[in-house]
Amino acid sequence: MKIRIPKEGEILGEVIGMMGGSRVQVKCSDGKERLCRIPGNIRRFIWVREGDVVVVEPWEIDGDRKGDVKWRYTKVQADWLRRKGYYKD
């Protein structure tokens, strides 16, 4: 199984709230909460729900509070990330 690992400048996080308008509240692994938007290329193919582990790319401006969702992991993939130490709750 090939699992996408966060690249340079990307952070893992967990969706803690649905804000509407293709926006979600994400608790990131660096301890910050970000309001993240789901770009159209992801929104069309992937359904993001509360509790999902996602890859977040913080914005260059106001990156401590906002970002973009780049990837969503399935439950099995998220469990693998936790076991291997990439993501801690």
Write down the pLDDT at residue 72.
94
Write down the pLDDT at residue 40.
87
50: left (phi over 0), alpha (psi -120 to 50) or beta: beta
In a domain, 3, yes or no: no
Three-state DSSP class for residue 67 = strand
Write down the pLDDT at residue 42.
82
Ranges under pLDDT 70 in the chain: 1
* Structure confidence by residue, pLDDT tens digits, 11-24: 999 999 999 889 99
Q: What domain range includes position 29? A: 11-84
Write down the pLDDT at residue 1.
67
Residue closest to 54 by CA, chosen among 21, 84, 29: 29
The string over 52-69, giving b where at least 16 C-beta atoms fall within 10 Å of a residue's C-beta and e elsewhere, is bbbbbbbeeeeeeeebbb
Please give the biggest Cα pair distance in the chain: 35
Residue closest to 64 by CA, chosen among 36, 22, 24: 36
Write down the pLDDT at residue 70.
94
Write down the pLDDT at residue 60.
93
Write down the pLDDT at residue 54.
96
In a domain, 1, yes or no: no
In a domain, 48, yes or no: yes
Q: What is the CATH number of the domain that holds 40?
A: 2.40.50.140
Write down the pLDDT at residue 41.
83
In a domain, 6, yes or no: no
The count of structural domains within the chain is 1
